[in-house]
Amino acid sequence: MIRKVIRGISAIVLCFSSFAAVAASKPNLVLITLDSARADRMGFLGAKGSLTPNLDRLAGESVVFEHAYAQAPGSVVSHATILSGAYPQTTGMSEIGGRLSPSMPYLPDLLKLQGYRTAAFVASIDLDPQNGPAQGFDRGFETYDAGFRPVLPGDASLPVTERRGRQVVARAVAWLNHNAQTPFFLWVHISDARAPASSYNSTITAADAAAGELIAALQRKKIYANTAVIVAADQGESLGAHGEDTHGVFLYDETIHVPLLVKLPQGEPATKPAATRVAAKVRLVDIAPTLLEIAQVPVPSQMQGQSLLRIAKAGSGTSDHPVYSRADLPQIGFGWSPLESWRAGKYLYIRAPRPELYDLTADPGATHNLAQSSKATLDTMASQLDAFDRSFSHDAGKSSAELSSSEMQKLASLGYVGLQHSSGAAASVTGIDPNDKIAEANKVIEATAREQSKPERAIATLNPIVSADPNLYLAQYTLGTALARKGQYAEAAKHLHKAVELQPDSAWAHYESGAILLKTGDFKAAVVHLEIAASHLPGFAPAHLALAEAYDHMNRTEDAKRERARAIETHSAVR
């Protein structure tokens, strides 16, 4: 039975009245994103065992969205949607990289223009705009605290690729100590749920504790009442459901249904509403417009989400819109079919080589595929998804990481032939169904996660995989980088050459290839790859330094000086 969509509409109206009274003072805005946190582990969404006591208390004075969904099952793409209010087709980001367009409306940029102090504190190198794939994420942030150190070819320094939630929150609180006197927008990313631990539940509790410390700091500083707090997960975690160990491939509820709550700013603590719950479907693409509305900043027409507060106030009759999600990793990482999903009413439709249709009311675990027995419903859902995809036809096939024609020609001069750009659209469902290869994906993703700390184990895992199927970009790239960590540069270069062949738009593959070719003495080829890397990773100082070294070997002294200056400028940039 479909539950009542909104309980306590009068409480929301009271929220709006209280909010209007304090709007003139510009409420503070705090966005907390929890990496890989499943909705079914939240006490405020029905989980047993008191895993999230701090978030449960916050939910008690918040608008809780019971059916919120991510637009992607990966951190980079999902956060791009959260911060831009745009779908993945528009952001052009993928899990192997990309760059947010400077012309795209971007939440921190818009708030900074309205006088907000802006700061970000992230827990993973995945969201580092200098040293990770989240290029362009720092636009509009006066402070972007990341500072991670990746593993570099030939560099014996220990990498720094993640921080625990409490460390991230401590940095954020230190920033608040000096910046809470004026209205601010603060984004804090907590990724404890991705950390190795004795149990997934314990990592959820650790993430909750970190979020609780941030909320307590706001209360101690007596700014909590005039602060809006949004808490959301970027995606969930499969934990073996449907055969997937982690996330990134499938679009079932385990990874796409996420916790989401909004605590509105209040004039007085006594006027805080009782918990208000909304059962209408909402999306992470709706977060940016929501924060802009709370700040009373006009929402740009280019933003594709809508305010969560308007959805809550509207009720079930007009607000339960279909939800779109997509996974690009099956296609970009493995060369298989992409996946898209469409949630409408009680149904989940997944576009794949073998279409999937589930009645989530009767079958919440999505175990009984109705595609063959409910053809009419399948056709309706497929038609709705087709129409949605067509609305992005002007973006189809484009990627923010796409190489220029001159860059492609330079690669051709090195012997690369028949190169194809990474696809920015996920409409074509031909080829291998990821369901048939999920065990292989699990092995590659696990090897990728441990490549930096245990490269020898990654090599042992990936060698037989690439021997059986050499056309897996993620496997070739990870094997190449793991071999480089062990000093096997000639062998590493072969696998990275194949990785570039499979995904020429991958700036990271170009960087690794160029850095390794420096080690093997192929300076001409190194220059080509490193020029591409430095162009598409402008904030990544090691790419500029490696290119300068390559130029030195080619007697291009002035070019080498320029790249070293760029590396110094990049490294010295204030975050």
**3-state SS, one letter per residue, for 118-169:** EEEECCEHHHCCCCCCCECCCCCCCEEECCCECCCCCCCCCCECECCHHHHH
pLDDT at 427: 52
**Domain coordinates in residue numbering, the chain:** 6-150+158-322, 330-390, 405-572
Encode pLDDT of 418-449 as tens digits: 787 765 555 567 889 999 999 999 999 999 98
Residue with tokens 């909705």: 39
b (16+ CB within 10 A) / e for 351-381: bbeebbbbbbeeeeebeebbbeebeebbeeb
Q: What is the reported pLDDT for 23?
A: 41
- Res. 571: pLDDT tops 70: no
Does the pLDDT value for residue 6 go beyond 70? no
CATH number of 6-150+158-322: 3.40.720.10
Query: How is residue 340 written in tokens?
Result: 């898209």
* pLDDT-above-90 percentage for the chain: 78
Residues written for the chain: 575
Distance (Å, whole) CA 493 – CA 495: 6
pLDDT in tens, 472-525: 999 999 999 999 989 999 999 999 999 999 999 999 999 999 999 999 999 999
With tokens 């399948």, the residue in question is 378
Average pLDDT across the chain, whole number: 90
Alpha-carbon span 293 to 295, nearest angstrom: 5
pLDDT per position as a tens digit, 444-474: 999 998 877 788 999 999 999 999 999 999 9
List C-alpha distances in Å: 69 to 84, 193, 235, 258, 517. Answer: 16, 18, 8, 6, 43
Read off the pLDDT of residues 326-377 as tens digits, 9 standing for 90 and up.
999 999 999 999 999 999 999 999 999 999 999 999 999 999 999 999 999 9
402 pLDDT exceeds 90? no
Distances (CA, A) of 292 to 180, 383, 474, 509: 19, 33, 37, 37
Q: How confident is the model at residue 273 (pLDDT cuts 50, 70, 90)?
A: very low
Judged on CB neighbours under 10 Å (0-12, 13-18, 19+), 4 is: exposed
Q: What is the 3-state secondary structure (H, E, C) of 174-214?
A: HHHHHHCCCCEEEEEEECHHHCCCCCHHHHHHHHHHHHHHH
More confident residue, 214 or 391: 214
Of 166-175, 186-195, 261-270, which range is least confident? Answer: 261-270
The percent of residues above 70 in pLDDT, for the chain, comes to 89
- Geometric angle at alpha carbon 391, from 386 and 395, rounded to 5°: 110
Mean pLDDT of 131-144: 95
Q: Tokens 């220990």 — which residue?
A: 158
Instruction: List the beta strands (DSSP E) in 284-410.
Output: 323-327, 339-344, 347-351, 356-359
Residues 6+ apart with CB under 8 A from 78: 70, 71, 72, 234, 235, 284
**Does residue 240 carry a pLDDT above 90?**
yes
Q: What is the mean pLDDT of residues 382-387?
A: 96
Give the mean pLDDT of 185-191. Answer: 98
pLDDT of residue 422: 66
CB atoms near residue 387 (< 10 Å): 9
In the chain, the amino acid numbered 437 is: K
Strands (E), 299-383: 323-327, 339-344, 347-351, 356-359
3-class state of residue 56 by DSSP:
helix
Closest alpha carbon to 387 in 361, 349, 423: 349
Residue-wise pLDDT for 169-183, tens only, equals 999 999 999 999 999
pLDDT classification of 569: cutoffs 50, 70, 90: confident
Report CA-CA distances (Å) from 359 to 205, 258, 291, 322, 364: 31, 19, 33, 14, 7
Q: For residue range 291-337, list pLDDT tens digits in order.
A: 999 999 999 999 999 999 988 887 654 567 899 999 999 999 999 99
CATH assignment of 405-572? Answer: 1.25.40.10
Contact by Cβ (8 Å): 80, 91: yes
> CATH 1.20.120.450: does it fit domain 330-390?
no
Q: In 3D, which of 175, 213, 222, 245 has the Cα closest to residue 449? A: 245
Q: What is the dihedral of CA 217, 221, 227, 229, to 10 degrees?
A: 0
- Dig out the tokens for 318 from the structure: 């007009």
Question: Which is nearest to 323 in space by CA: 367, 262, 280?
Answer: 280
- Predicted local distance difference test score (pLDDT) of residue 151: 77
Which pLDDT tens digit goes with each residue over 12-50?
Answer: 444 444 444 444 479 999 999 999 999 999 999 999 999
Q: What is the pLDDT of residue 17?
A: 43
